[in-house]
Amino acid sequence: MKKITIVTVYPFYGGIERFVTTLANMLAEDNEVSVICLYGRKGEWKFPLGKSIKIEYLIKNAPEMISLKELIARRKVGRIASEMHRRFKISADSRAALKNALSALRSDIVITERTLMSKYVGKYCNNRTKKIATDHNYHQNDKKYIEALLRSLRGFEYLVVATDELYSFYKNKIGTTKCVKIPNPLGELPTVKSSLEHKNLIAVGRLSPEKGFDDLVKVFGLVHEKRPDTKLFLIGDGMEWPRIRRLVDERGLSKSIIMPGFLNQKEIEKYYRQSSIYVMTSHTEAFGLVLAEAMSHGLPCVAFDSASGARELLGDGTGILVKRRSCNDMASKIIKLLDTTQERKVLSRMSLKKVHGFSSEKIASSWQNIVLK
């Protein structure tokens, strides 16, 4: 049995937090697992963690997100200065909290979920501790991001990525660190699938700019013009919720786009079963855990090919990829799929076959291979 600590930033409701939860629960079956969370307090973790898994929160309140670009555009000189000071203090407090926690940590293995955490683990954690980094962002050929990730891997034995594309990109760039591809685990696969009989679409995720939910509202508006009996379930919460809600209201779609906010997994499953197509409009997505989750419910999926994760999961014909982020093309393909029962059934079978390899049982063996070495 190994003592394993996963280091993360937030206790919120995004794909990274789901990944950390599933990974922790999976590894806890044979190991002693704990989580260090930079921000948060008891009771704020959104997903169900096993009872044996302990969470240590370092700073109670997560910093409020304020757009520096917006302040600059509005020429708020005083606010810009105070925001810069606030960010400097947040950074200093975070660095001090992580230094204290990581310097005192006595685990056999530490796993990080983003570059920032890898940087601090490499700097402050015991040199005898095995260090494993995971990356959940697609680099978008951003040189600064790539260089920061590569620097953060000093002292790490492994970098775990979820797709072939990321594996091919990083495998020869990270020196002595070994790159390993392990898809994100889905957990227990659902036993009840969608009947594909409902004329409903669904999208799930954190409401943040990179998810492209403004484009989703536009796409659904085009679908709704042709198929007015169709509804969209847009499930999730985040900083973009008020703006997306306004877009929905402005387009007169408030009765057809249902936005229930954050829901637990059991509640989301009810919406999957009432839907016949999953739609992803993300600008970027390293894997797309919600896409795989939708596939596990037998849903045919339509996505823009701008997201690496969509290309990985749907690129072999398992789903429909739309080029050039064309909202008109996506709407046309959705309408055709709504009208073609047989095609929905074919894509559903392909989806179910594809995600069989993403169950915790399958993924656990891959993780055990690097944990036990």
Q: Does residue 156 share a domain with residue 16?
A: yes
Q: State how far the Cα of 176 lies from the Cα of 63, in Å rounded to an integer.
A: 35
Query: pLDDT (tens digit, 9 = 90+) per residue, 310-328?
Result: 999 999 999 999 999 999 9
Helix (H), strand (E) at residue 266: helix 265-273
Please give the full DSSP string across 110-174, using - where no structure is assigned. EEESSHHHHHHHHHHS-TTSEEEEE--S--TT-HHHHHHHHHHTTT-SEEEESSHHHHHHHTTTS
- pLDDT for 83 equals 76
Q: Which of 181, 208, 231 is the last residue of a domain?
A: 181
Please return the burial class of 306, using the count of CB atoms within 10 Å of its CB with bins 0-12, 13-18 and 19+.
Answer: buried
User: What percentage of the chain has pLDDT greater than the value 70?
Assistant: 97
Q: State how far the Cα of 313 lies from the Cα of 311, in Å rounded to an integer.
A: 6
User: Is residue 365 assigned to a domain?
Assistant: no
* Dihedral angle over CA of 182, 183, 185, 186, nearest 10: -170
Q: Does residue 229 share a domain with residue 100?
A: no
Q: State how far the Cα of 17 lies from the Cα of 11, in Å rounded to an integer.
A: 7
Q: Does residue 151 share a domain with residue 7?
A: yes
Q: Does residue 212 share a domain with residue 173?
A: no
Q: Does residue 205 share a domain with residue 114?
A: no
Instruction: Judge if pTM exceeds 0.85.
Output: yes
Query: pLDDT (tens digit, 9 = 90+) per residue, 187-215?
Result: 888 999 999 999 999 999 989 999 999 99
- pLDDT for 76 equals 67
User: Is residue 193 assigned to a domain?
Assistant: no
User: Is residue 362 assigned to a domain?
Assistant: no
Domain of residue 15, residue span: 3-181
Amino acid letter, 300: P
- pLDDT for 231 equals 98
Number of helices followed by number of strands (H, E) in the chain? 14, 13
Q: Does residue 347 share a domain with residue 270?
A: yes
Quick one: pLDDT band at residue 247, thresholds 50, 70, 90?
A: very high
Tell me which of 299 and 44 has the higher pLDDT: 299
Please state, rounded to an integer, the average pLDDT across all residues of the chain. Answer: 93
User: Is residue 171 assigned to a domain?
Assistant: yes
Joined together, the tokens standing for residue 336 give 């055709």
Q: Does residue 295 share a domain with residue 149?
A: no
Joined together, the tokens standing for residue 21 give 């939860």
Section 265-272 average pLDDT: 94
Residue 148 has pLDDT above 70, yes or no: yes
Q: Which of 181, 216, 239 is the last residue of a domain?
A: 181
User: Is residue 80 assigned to a domain?
Assistant: yes
Backbone angles phi, psi at 143, to 5 degrees: -60, -40
User: Is residue 344 assigned to a domain?
Assistant: yes
Per-position b or e across 261-277, b if 16+ CB within 10 A of its CB: ebbeeeebbebbbebbb
Helix (H), strand (E) at residue 33: strand 32-39
Q: Does residue 216 share a domain with residue 121?
A: no
Q: Does residue 345 share a domain with residue 205?
A: yes
Contact of 342 with 188, CB cutoff 8 Å? no
User: Is residue 191 assigned to a domain?
Assistant: no
Q: State how far the Cα of 45 lies from the Cα of 262, in Å rounded to an integer.
A: 13
Q: Does residue 169 share a domain with residue 210?
A: no
Residue 150 has pLDDT above 80, yes or no: yes
Q: How many domains does the chain have?
A: 2
Q: Does residue 63 share a domain with residue 164?
A: yes
Positive or negative: CA dihedral 313, 317, 319, 323: positive
Q: Does residue 169 share a domain with residue 43?
A: yes
Q: Which of 128, 151, 181 is the last residue of a domain?
A: 181
Least confident of 107-111, 159-163, 249-253, 365-369: 365-369
Least confident of 57-71, 112-126, 240-254, 346-360: 57-71
User: Is residue 35 assigned to a domain?
Assistant: yes
- pLDDT for 238 equals 87
Query: pLDDT (tens digit, 9 = 90+) per residue, 56-90?
Result: 999 988 777 666 666 677 666 677 788 788 888 88
Residues near 333 by beta carbon (within 8 Å), at least 6 away in sequence: 302, 320, 322
Q: State how far the Cα of 48 lies from the Cα of 46, in Å rounded to an integer.
A: 7
- pLDDT for 68 equals 61
CATH number reported for the structural domain that contains residue 104 in this entry: 3.40.50.2000
Residues near 182 by beta carbon (within 8 Å), at least 6 away in sequence: 160, 161, 162, 363, 366, 367
